[in-house]
Every structure is written in structure tokens, then in C-alpha cells.
Amino acid sequence: QVQLRESGPGLVQPSQTLSLTCTVSGFSLTSHSVHWVRQHSGKSLEWLGRMWSDGRPSYKSAFTSRLSISRDTSKSQVFLKMNSLQTADTGTYYCARGTFTTGGDVMDAWGQGASVTVSS
């Protein structure tokens, strides 16, 4: 079945770089896109970016200068790298599969989330 699993360090120092990996199974990265979404504790969800099935990344404009999304199709992995981390980047980071349907473009499967704390 379709699964996504985020992994990465739970603690990152301020000004350092966050590196997260989303390992997927049950589908191909060349057939589906993968999104990254984060959630501050007790807050709503924030869309960060997307790795399209053709290998192109898209980013929320506010993060263009410090966010990079890439992939390794041979390992079924999508990577998120965010630099210059601040305490405001603390939260839970999710990866989610993107699927097109008639009229629809939906995140139809989600990982369990990776908790990230930015602190010295």
C-alpha cells in the first residue's frame, strides 16, 4: 500500500540547515508529485513546496531563498533542505503524495510527520 515516512534530526541549531528525507513506497515518484507541508504546534498547516513527477520543484515564494527540494528516484526518496533555520521553523514537517483526479489535485496520502525543534 501507499506509504510515506519522514526522517531527519529532531533538533537543529539556529542558523543551521534542516535536512529531511521522505521515503515512499507503493507508488512511483515519476507518476506522482510529493509535497512538503509543515505545522507549528497547535497551529494550522503551511504548504512549503512540491516535487513534481517530472523532477521540477516548486516552492512557496516566501521560502525560495532558503528551501530546496530534490529527489532520488532510485531510492524512492524526496529531500527537503531548509537553511538559515530560526526558532520560528520549529514544528512538524509532513510529506504527502499529490494525485490528480478529474478536477482535483489532492494530497491523498500523508506521512506521520517529523518533529523538528530549532534550539541551541
Partner 1 sequence: DIQMTQTPSSMPASLGERVTISCRASQGISNYLNWYQQKSDGTIKPLIYYTSNLQSGVPSRFSGSGSGTDYSLTISSLEPEDFAMYYCQQYDNYPWTFGGGTKLELK
Question: Rule CB under 8 A: is residue 53 a binding residue for partner 1?
Answer: no
Among 31, 44, 65, 120, binds partner 1 (CB under 8 A): 44
* Gap between the terminal Cα atoms of the chain: 39
Is residue 94 close enough to count as binding partner 1 by CB under 8 A? yes
Phi-psi region of 61 (alpha: psi -120 to 50; beta: other; left: phi over 0): alpha
Among 16, 23, 27, 47, binds partner 1 (CB under 8 A): 47
Name the minimum Å distance from CB 120 to partner 1.
26
Residue owning grid cell 510527520: 113
CA–CA distance, 56 with 44 (Å, rounded to integer): 27
- Residues of this chain that bind partner 1 (CB under 8 A): 35, 44-47, 58, 60-62, 92, 94, 96, 101-108, 110, 112-113
